[in-house]
Amino acid sequence: MIDIHTHILPFIDDGSPDCEVSIKMLSSLCEQGVSKVVLTPHFYAYRTDVESFVCKREISVNKLLDELKKKPVDISLYLGAEVLYFDEVWTVDNLDELTIKGTKYIMVEMPFCRWTDSMIGKISRLTSKGYIPIIAHIDRYIKKQKNFSCFYRLAEQGALLQVNTASVLSFFSRLRLKTLFKKGVITLFGTDCHNMEGRAPLYEESMQYIKKMVSKEQYQYMIDRQNFVLKEAQRIY
Ligand SMILES: [Fe+2]
């Protein structure tokens, strides 16, 4: 099983505060049956540039890898980023540095407002440039949108929609997500874990709920789609 969205890298964003917590998060995921984890620290273009981000991320990765030498966890790691949407996102020269390493998949965090046609259009520009946008935690935007049409449009444009696993633990959230699951619009899932407390890696129980919300075939499709994303990805651990 794969967790495609995590803030396990230490000292880089509002996620794991240190290596000890990072190892606990990885161990917890491993115990819940996860074998592959994508590290997706926040990238905010208004705060930093790609070069500085990559440099900071490298330092963080090295610290985590050093710790894993002392306390190994039976899990594979992949590197990515969660890029906060900005209007010029598709014009960034070195965007490949922000994709899941070795692939063209790029995780985008959309703004927490009602999305405009222009925003959805900018995402399609990413697709035109050969990238495959992964729209992070769509469960967090549903209430903000007028209806589901923006999600359908994004999926039609070739974007993949990711849901946070913890969201299906809530009855009302499951109700809101039901249609999107049934229509097969949601294809990816991730914990978006930040720590071991309020935003801990909740995976196993959530996957049981997801299994019940979709058909057997749909569930298998989601698993296969998730695996396909990492097919060409470069493992860093
Ligand atoms: Fe996130």
pLDDT, one tens digit per residue, over 126-151 is: 999 999 999 999 999 999 998 999 99
**Is 72 among the domain residues?**
yes
Whether 235 is in a domain gets the answer no
For residue 164, the CA-to-ligand 1 centroid distance in Å is 9
Which residues are registered as beta bridge partners of 163? 189
Instruction: Tell me the CA–centroid distance for residue 134 and ligand 1, in Å.
Output: 12
Ligand 1 centroid distance, CA of 236 (Å):
20
pLDDT at position 188: 96
Give the distance (Å) from ligand 1 centre to CA of residue 128.
25
Dig out the tokens for 72 from the structure: 């190994």
Q: What is the largest CA-CA distance in the chain?
A: 50
d(CA 26, CA 124): 34
Residue 94 in domain: yes
Centre of ligand 1 to C-alpha 40, Å, is 7
Distance, CA of 235 to CA of 59 (rounded, Å): 17
Distance 213 CA to ligand 1 centre (A): 23
pLDDT digits (tens, 9 = 90+) for 188-207: 999 999 999 999 999 999 99
Which pLDDT belongs to residue 218? 93
Cα–ligand 1 centroid distance for 147 (angstroms): 23
pLDDT of residue 146: 87
Centre of ligand 1 to C-alpha 149, Å, is 23
Residues of the chain with pLDDT under 50: none
Residue numbers of the domain that contains 58: 2-229
pTM for this entry: 0.96
Residue 165 domain flag: yes
Q: 23 C-alpha to center of ligand 1: Å? A: 18
* pLDDT averaged over every residue in the chain: 96
Domain count, the chain: 1
The per-residue pLDDT for 35 is 98
Residue 129 lies in a domain: yes
Distance of CA 120 to the CA centre of its chain: 18
Cβ pair 137, 113 in contact under 8 A? no
CATH number of the domain encompassing residue 166: 3.20.20.140
Sign of torsion over alpha carbons 189, 149, 147, 117: positive
DSSP 129-195: TT-EEEE--GGGTGGGSSSSHHHHHHHHTT-EEEEEGGGGGSHHHHHHHHHHHHTT-EEEEE--B-S
Distance 133 CA to ligand 1 centre (A): 14
Q: What is the DSSP string of 73-115?
A: -S-EEEE--EEEP-TTGGG-TTGGGGSSTTSSEEEEE--SSPP
Ligand 1 centre and the CA of 199: distance in Å?
10
Q: Residue 237 falls within a domain, yes or no?
A: no
